[in-house]
Chains A and B, each alone.
Chain A
Amino acid sequence: MKRLCVFLMLLSLLIAFSVPSLADGHCMDELGCVEVGPDDPVVIGAMLSVSGATSFYGEDSLGGIELAINGRDGMLLGREITLVVEDSLCTAEGGQAAAQRVAADETIVGVIGTTCSGAAQGAMPIISEAGMVMISSSNTSPSLTNDDRDAGGTYLPGYFRTAHNDLFQGAMGAQFAVEVLKAGAVATIHDGDPYTEGLAVVMANTFAGLNGEVVFQGAVSKGDTDMSAILTEIAASGPDVVYLPVFVPESEFLVSQAANTPGLENAIMMTADGSFSAGFAQNTGQPAVGVVMTGPHVAGEAYDEFLMMWADEQPGGTEAPPSGFHAHAYDAANILMDAVEAVAEEMDDGTLVIGRQALRDAIAAVENYDGLTGSLTCQEESPFAGDCATGTALAVFEITEAQVNEGAWPPPIVWDLSMSMMDE
């Protein structure tokens, strides 16, 4: 009898904890709710790389988020918006630490971030476990939206991104190399980051699948300035295309030093969105002319207006966005805020109740969202679980004199998937 009593007591406790709706009366959500008091602000989190060598990526996204908030005059559902920024660095440990701080704050409705795919791998388990949502504006590693653990997937519910999946980008690079550049041999370089490594692998595999030969697969370290050793080795392998989807400034060092490496005079350098910034062309100088790069194709009137807004308000004190994912961050923040608006319920006492599962569902249901980065539809099936960008908003660009000498950006588009001879 006593045992039964204890059992029933434990059971009722369990029910009370697992279904907070019964406990407080407001919340009917299976993952719990965020409650915003009548005079409290709506708190949005951001986990970005805002210190260290990659801080300009974080500042780029942060500017996009701030402009999205300013676009609503800083108000959501009649309440002020507060943005809490945690530094997730560009490492798994940094992402983990930032996510722990975010998860400990019960007032945060959702998070924009992380900046780097590596940081997302550390952050995702904690954010998902806490029932929260995270929308990244610049993670592109394929593993993040893949739930097949055997294939290295790390997807967990609550994760979304407005950046494109590198399955598209890497394949696109390979197709361009084969169809347009008529390349027969490729060398790939990554820097150990899951993003760069994933991209290099996808490119190499697709290239090999198109009957190309992968003659060299190697890596540099972040922070390297002297690339002569790896370039010498690459020159010895004789590639037509050198695929280097690494970040700046490593890509700048690679391209400028390749120009002086005997044996690489005729090889075409191809990079990706990690180097997609006006600074890449200007810093690399003359050797950048002729470099082809895959990157987000963000254009249109809305984007031009966005850039003017940036120049006016200068978030972070910069006149122009320092990197290429500000528009994705703007869209991510708006998707999050729209979803909050859609699911929040106002109680009689003026308290806002935002169901966590409802918020996830609302974001997952986003369809044909007209964002700066194109039409966004969030998918649910692995390997694209949580992917909101389609991959069609990508193009191949070629750097010309105008990018190097006049700072014009973005470079002219030379190819996109609609020009491909192959069916997807």
Chain B
Amino acid sequence: MFKWGSDDFSWVDFTIDVLRVLIVLGVVVGAWNTLSSGRISFAQWVNLFAAGLSQGSIYALIALGYTLVYGILLMINFAHGEVFMAGAFSTVFLAEALNRTGFLNEQPLLAILLMIMFAGLVSMSVAILLERIAYRPLRGSPRLVPLITAIGASFFLQYTFRGLYGSGFKAYPGVKALQGVIQIGGVSIPVVQIFVFCAALLLMLCLYWLVERTRIGKAMRAVSENKEVARLMGIDIDWVIMFTFGVGGFLAGSAGVINGMFRPQGVNFYMGFIPGIKAFTAAVLGGIGNIPGAMLGGLFLGVIEAIGPNLVLAGLGIPGANQLKDVIAFTMLVLVLIFRPQGILGERLSETKA
């Protein structure tokens, strides 16, 4: 904080403090206006929150890929959205086939597990190839180089998949077992949203177990801590890095299938772009390089996106509030970068990592 007349006074701090007050004021006034108008009922708020949580858990799964790679290589893999697309787009054909044979509705759990495995494997292969071909030769070069390569790889993957499967939109078939709603205290929540949340949570727990409780997880942490020392301890760094990309890819691919259950439409070669950016935002929100941070960031972003426009923007009388959903998401990113650059859970990064 500053004191008038003291030597410490700085206009930057002052502006940021004013900004802070204005934002809090805007949120409070907007929320107050909306809530006091009673335009949206309690049940509807719960619905929005649940939808946001489901969307958020998909962001979180993708965000983990960003954070894992950043944690180990300190690079942003901007092609990660395309890794997600690769799994989701490829598996739509498997899903259609399973639906035609009737297997999807007879054994929904088994069929979805099969789809997740398939999508995970496709995305994993794409991620590993990406690392092997596009990033490994550039290891040790200035940090901008792999970043630009990632953007190039992203285009390459998009248009490769367009060549493979065409440019039209596809959709996942509906799973009967996931349709319908569950009544909880007078509020009806779609089954599919509960499924999405639980599936994502399960995958995240698996990841947590992998990183914290297994030998390879320990190796990943060691490489993330200090590559040279890890090498001296006999850890095969190349293998660990490849494994990390593979794990991130698997999570992205499974997110593709889970997303297909939640939002079946819109499957095409371009579908990875926006979730990719959102997940990156989520990773930064939570603190990039921090695994629980990415999970929390994803959920947080999903909920803010779902509730923010109706709660704050509509309350402030801003027209077309729903169209500004992305504005809320990216404003969050800017705000976090201003007020808490290390993210919600991130530790203050040392010079070498930041």
Contacts and interface: CB of A to CB of B under 8 A. Distances in A.
B51 A249 contact: no
A322 interface: yes
Contact of A253 (B43, B167, B263): B263
Contact of B162 (A55, A219, A224): A55
Interface stretch (B5-13, B125-133, B318-326, B346-354): B318-326
Nearest to A235: B44
Given A228-B48, A232-B47, A249-B265, A284 B322 contact: no
Nearest to A228: B51
A223 interface: yes
Contacts of B320: 218-219
A286 B305 CA distance: 27
A268 to B, nearest CB: 20
A283 B169 contact: yes
A219 B323 contact: yes
A12 interface: no
A317 B188 CA distance: 45
Given A218-B320, A219-B322, A233-B322, A282 B263 contact: no
Interface string B262-294: 011110101001100000000000000000000
B253 interface: no
Contacts of A191: 323
Contacts of B264: 256, 283, 285
B162 to A, nearest CB: 7
Given A229-B48, A262-B47, A55 B265 contact: no
B306 interface: yes
B265 A284 contact: yes
A220 B322 contact: yes
B126 to A, nearest CB: 20
Contact of B314 (A53, A226, A233, A317): A233
Interface residues of B, number: 43
Interface in B136-165: 159, 162
B217 interface: no
Interface residues of A, number: 39
B35 interface: no
A279 B169 CA distance: 7
A335 B26 CA distance: 57
Contact of B310 (A233, A282, A286): A233
Interface string B299-320: 0000001110110001000001
Contacts of B306: 226, 228-229
A325 to B, nearest CB: 14
Contact of B263 (A219, A226, A230): A226
Contacts of B322: 218-220, 229-230, 233
Nearest to B323: A219
Nearest to B263: A225
Contacts of B190: 260
B266 A252 contact: yes
Given A230-B322, A236-B40, A256 B51 contact: no
Contacts of B171: 249, 252, 282-285
A285 to B, nearest CB: 5
B170 A283 contact: yes
A368 interface: no
B306 to A, nearest CB: 6
B174 interface: yes
Contacts of B185: none
A220 B170 CA distance: 21
Contact of B44 (A248, A262, A286, A317): A262
Contacts of A223: 273-274
Contact of B265 (A219, A230, A283, A322): A283
Given A219-B323, A225-B263, A229-B306, A55 B48 contact: no
B108 interface: no
A221 B167 contact: no
A221 B326 contact: yes
A322 B263 CA distance: 22
B234 interface: no
A191 B309 CA distance: 16
A232 B322 CA distance: 11
A233 B323 contact: no
A232 B265 contact: no
Interface string A196-234: 000000000000000000000011110111101110110
Nearest to B39: A236
A260 B265 CA distance: 15
Given A53-B268, A232-B310, A262-B44, A226 B55 contact: yes
B49 to A, nearest CB: 10
Contacts of A236: 39-41, 44
Interface in A323-377: none
A230 B320 CA distance: 9
A25 interface: no
Nearest to A277: B168
B323 A226 contact: no
Contacts of A249: 169, 171, 265-266, 268
A56 interface: yes
B102 interface: no
Given A55-B162, A220-B322, A252-B171, 7 more contacts: A55-B167, A192-B323, A219-B322, A219-B323, A249-B265, A249-B268, A283-B266
Interface of A: 51-53, 55-56, 59, 191-192, 218-221, 223-226, 228-230, 232-233, 235-236, 248-249, 252-253, 256, 260, 262, 279, 282-286, 317-318, 322
6 contacts: A53-B270, A56-B168, A229-B306, A229-B307, A236-B39, A262-B43
